Amino acid sequence: MLDSRLAAVIAVKGLKFCAQRSIRWPLVCNDLGGWSYSRGTDEIGFSNKGLMWGQKGFSLIELLIVVAIILVIAAIAIPNMLHARIAANESSAAASLRAIASAEITYFNTYPAIGYSASLPDLGGAAPCVQTPASACLLDPSLATAIPGSPGKSGYVFQVTGIANGGAINSNYVTGGVPITPGSTGNRNFCSTSEQVLRIQTGVIGPPVNTLAACYAYPIAP
């Protein structure tokens, strides 16, 4: 950097340069021996080394063009992001039903006097989990508590219904999963039974299925 004495010398020489040429307002003399003229956002200036031209800020047209480009990019990107999120949520929901089916098998073998669990929370349990029929510690709490009315898991809520079929134990069950916000967090409903066959229905709005007949009405997943 220039020290103060050198800067003062340059400033004096610049002022002499301007004074010798009788530069007056609206021309502005600078300390380096040159002048500039400002008009609106445009500025033209001369120094003792030649002509220079600069422009300050952006015009309204330029700003509108930038905004239009941003809107076009957003119009393309946002739907793609939504579709990707829906696909990820649906994949997670299918995986959740498979996890529930696996937990139901273990529950059935652990508590033969009960059979399959009566509800989804029975398969989970809060940490530190102590295994009981009402808290089997077989599912992660984030899934075991993702019941209707809760924040859900990855955009879906789930429900497990134990079915006794007139017997003393739950010999079957129905697991249903539906998107929290159809069209936004998911487009497909899922269900499965003790057969462990994943079934999918598109365009159905409502709570998770809780009967065998309702689940069997869903087409089998490809």
DSSP 32-95: TTEEEEEETTEEEEEETTEEEEEE-S--HHHHHHHHHHHHHHHHHHHHHHHHHHHHHHHHHHHH
Domain boundaries, the chain: 4-55, 63-216
| Average pLDDT of span 38-50 | 45
CB–CB of 161/120 below 8 Å?
no
Task: Give the single-character DSSP code of 165.
Answer: T
**93-145: pLDDT as tens digits:** 999 999 999 999 999 999 999 999 999 999 999 889 999 999 999 999 999 99
Higher-scoring residue by pLDDT: 13, 94: 94
The 3-class secondary structure across 104-117, one letter per residue, is HHHHHHHCCCCECC
- Which among 109, 115, 111, 134 is positioned nearest to 124, based on CA atoms? 134
Q: Which residues of 149-176 are buried (b: 16+ CB within 10 A; e: fewer)?
A: eeebbbbbbbbbbbbeeeeeebebbbbb
Q: What is the mean pLDDT of the chain?
A: 81
- The pTM of the full predicted model, rounded to 2 decimals, is 0.66
Residue 34 pLDDT exceeds 90: no
Residue 7's pLDDT is 44
Percent of the chain's residues with pLDDT above 70:
74
Summarised one tens digit per residue, pLDDT across range 50-105 is 444 444 567 888 888 888 888 888 878 777 788 889 999 999 999 999 999 999 99
Q: Which pLDDT belongs to residue 138?
A: 96
Mean pLDDT, residues 177-206 taken together: 93
Two structure tokens written together for 34: 């040159």
* Predicted local distance difference test score (pLDDT) of residue 18: 52
Evaluate if residue 149 carries a pLDDT over 50. yes
In this prediction, residue 62 carries a pLDDT of 83
Confidence band, pLDDT 50/70/90 cuts, at residue 4 = low
Lowest mean pLDDT among 52-56, 156-160, 182-186: 52-56
- Token pair, residue 99, equals 């996890």
**Total Cβ atoms within 10 A of residue 199:** 21
**Separate counts of helices (H) and strands (E) for the chain:** 4, 8
